[in-house]
Structure 1
Amino acid sequence: MTHHTTVGPAVDRGVLTGEEYADASRLADRISLYAWQRPRLDIGGAVLERLRDLPGPGPVLDVGWGTGALTRRLRADRPDLRVIPVDLSAGLRPEVVAEVDRLPFADGSVGAVLAMYMLYYAADPANAVRELRRVLRPGGRLVAGTNAADDKPQWARLWTDTLRDLGVREPPPYDRGDARFDLERGAELVREVFGAVEVYDHRHEIAVPEAGPVLAYLHSTRGRQARALPNGLTWADFRSAASGRIQAEVERSGAFVITGHTGILTAVA
């Protein structure tokens, strides 16, 4: 059986700020799944390595700061850098509330910009990359994280098979949500704007030995996925049927296994 993903439109700003990232709870549910990631990717350590010889005070913009974990790590390990948290959602309590493609910083005013796993939410990812380039001083760094096109194919299979369980003969394509700036497209965009890009690939496996964290991750995506359900189906219907599939897989195999492919893009202004 072949499963297709689709590159959907930009996520509605109201969904992002009012649901997906009204606070950090859904993001925390997604991040928690990575406790079972092998081999682990230490994102904070990877970012620190890419900023290793960046002179203080930077500053460094942490755009899409999310839970704040990366900012806290940088402040602890590089106290000489001034790290400024930026996010679209005021509910996440960043220091600066702003869209990635309209940053309230002057041209050439910062030493580094971090955009970890968020550029696929931009209204126009190409414009967002150009805006990140604009605020960097000559020699400044862009560090952007994202997922590859073949990341977590199990979610697409779960979506399709669960909808068929519910009687949908032709399930709509699964929208990963990150396809608009995946590792491959993202590298092309960064190369176009910066002239060159360094790509770090990380392939991994997430084997979760219980159904609860997998279901929590799934439920955290409801802001986007519930809107894609065929007419007549509710999120509660889908979640219940998917829960049965997840639990059956854990009982049969001892874990719900997700194959991951992520990466980090680095460029110099």
Structure 2
Amino acid sequence: MLTVGLQSGESIKWAEALQSEQILCQILWIAENTLNLQLLEKCVGLILAILESQQNVLDDLLPPMMKLGLASILINLLTFEISKLKNDRIPERYPILDLILRAIEGLSVIDEHSQEICSNKELFHLVCDLVKFPDKVEVGNCCVTAAVLIANILSDVADYWRLLGGLLDIFPFASDDLEARNAVWNVLARILVRIHETEMNSSSLCHFVSVLVRRIDLIEDELLNQQCVDSSPGSTTDARNTSVSFSFSYLGLLFTILRPPRDGKN
């Protein structure tokens, strides 16, 4: 009934009935702790209805819910559902997984709160795992929502620095896995091109330079390693193209950042 009310023309009145911190706390507590699948589905559905409501409802209900830990609760629920998906394959849980993903995706596009979602590394790993799930027929809608969520995360410029740094830090752990290293090169190239196409203010520029400078030795070592791989007899065209793509993106970005300003402009 609450969900229907929030989706009706009387949504503001229904939101007023939910404004009490005690009521919101109870809703979130039930969502996080209930073992009843129907009750869990209704609670997450209510959260989603709030996130999809008109702006006045969001302004009234979302800030206190965020203070009560909405983002972490949703991510914890997602963690649990994906673990269930990997181990038990319970079809009755698939609609709940979809609702949780839709709620997180909805939160990821709300400016005031998107950073808490987009900067969460655990969430990024979870949705990537879901996208790589082999039996997509069972959870097709969930995978689509996960893909949209990944796109939202990658569209958040602030998250690029964390993602870029995290990817660079993978190289030492993938020294013996050529396929993994090539995959990392490929993703890095895409991210660097995306950053290059993004207008950056001075703060963002400092973040970007800081990420690269802190890992300059690692980058240099890996560039040299990749050159050796590309020149070896068994190297493939794909690996070489990936390396060249990243190298040009990387060098082009450094040139753009480090070249002196023209005409005396700052």
Give the TM-score normalised by structure 1.
0.26
- Normalized per residue, the structure richer in helix is 2
- Normalized per residue, the structure richer in strand is 1
Give the TM-score normalised by structure 2.
0.27
Larger RCO, structure (CA 8 Å, separation 6 or more)? 1
